Structure 1
Amino acid sequence: MLVLTLDQRGSRNGVDKIDGLLARLHANPASKRFVRDFERTAGDEVQGLLNHPDDAVDVVLDVVRAGDWWAGVGVGPVREPIPASVRAANGPAFINAREAVERAKNTPSRLAVVGPDPRTAAEAESLLALLSAVVQRRTGPGWEVVDLIRQGLPQKDIATDLKISPQAVSQRLRTALWQEERGARPLAARLLTQADQAAGAPASTSGRD
């Protein structure tokens, strides 16, 4: 399974942003598939339990977009039966998530992946770091079109909504590296799947883009 631990950056000197993050996570369409929903587990941390690697990729990149967070992905088994609250759950995946979020504080991408197979975890982390760089560098106009394209709107409708030409929509998508991100997301999920299978507890995939 996959445990995501998210730690607020600079929380000692800033505003508590946990409630806003939880609202963002709960609004994510993938939240319906979470094994255990995200909860505040410490003063400046939230944690969730997932079993779909593509959902984990989606959450990590959404958190990167939000900013202000370190993200640790822990891969491995979880002790069963799983309690109703993620705060009461434990197992190797939770230990790995703790190690990952601490290591994330020393990475430029602000994320890390830890699992029983260090090589596969490192490969997943490298690709997520590359995707996070794309997300972090995307401009407001780029996000306008990417958000609408992810909702399933045709480019001509996006052009109408934004009052720009279809050519401008295409240019924004190219500048935003949307096709590159879209193509790399399934590979990142596949690497997380392989990392989880190395733990002897295969994760399932949902088959989404």
Structure 2
Amino acid sequence: MWTLTIDQEGSRRVGDRVEQLLADLAAASPLTSASPGAVVLPFERTVGDEVQGVLADPDLVVDLALHLVRAGGWSIGIGAGTVDTPLPASSRAASGTAFIHARDAVEAAKSRLRSVPLAVRGPRADLAAEAEGVLVLLGSVVSRRTAAGWSVVDRLVAAGASARQEDVAAALGISQQAVSARLRAALWFEEVAARPAAARLLRLTGDDGHDGRPDEGEGAA
């Protein structure tokens, strides 16, 4: 499983944003379309301006991490490992190696030397470092994408598998060539191609012989 510990940056300067984040996660984030069982323990405030939750789907971990990078203002720690059972109702009451690794990861993510405040820790330090490297590269793409790039990307994502560039162009009132140019500048197709690699490395990082999902009867959310 994967624990995400998310700590607000600069809370003394901008005020507490935790409730705003939790509302966003519930209403307009990758969590809203997660498959059954993917969210093991829901995200909640743990202490101060920190939020924590447990996921069982590495693809969802990637999607959520990049969603948070785009939002900005958060240090993101991803911990791969086990979660002790039986599962409690709250992540505040949960324990296991995934939580220990997530704590180490979020502290590493706070380093001022990082251009993307994201880190991964797990039982396989080498694989965790590789997963982190791919995620940081993806995060760099996301954090540098312009508003014009996002306008096209968001339209494509909202349209789903049936998305067509000509429809996006018509909706935005620009040419199809402009849509193609924005997608190239946004490195959108490169991001889509690299996301599965990040998810696979996360899966390998936390592989302990278990598929990552709670066994029947463990009470997953």
Question: Taking structure 2 as the reference length, what is the TM-score of the superposition?
Answer: 0.88
RMSD: 1.2
- Stretch moving more, 14-23 or 2-11: 14-23
Partners in 1 of 2:212 and 2:58 — Cα distance? Answer: 7
Partners in 2 of 1:165 and 1:201 — Cα distance? Answer: 49
Q: Who is 1:149 aligned against?
A: 156
1:35 Cα shift?
Answer: 1.0
Q: Who is 2:203 aligned against?
A: 193
Gaps of 5+ in 1: 205-209
Q: Who is 1:133 aligned against?
A: 140
Residue-pair matches, total: 203
Confirm whether residue 109 of structure 1 aligns to residue 109 of structure 2: no
Residue number among 48, 55, 58 corresponding to 2:60 in the alignment: 55
Q: Which residue identity is paired with 2:128?
A: A
The secondary structure found in structure 2 opposite 1:25 is helix
1:29 Cα shift?
Answer: 4.1
Confirm whether residue 76 of structure 1 aligns to residue 77 of structure 2: no
Q: Who is 2:31 aligned against?
A: 30
8 A Cα contact 1:77 1:201, kept in partner: no
Q: Which residue identity is paired with 1:81?
A: P
The secondary structure found in structure 1 opposite 2:42 is strand
Gaps of 5+ in 2: 214-221
The secondary structure found in structure 2 opposite 1:128 is helix
Percent identity of equivalent pairs: 54
Question: Taking structure 1 as the reference length, what is the TM-score of the superposition?
Answer: 0.93
8 A Cα contact 2:6 2:75, kept in partner: yes
Partners in 2 of 1:68 and 1:92 — Cα distance? Answer: 26
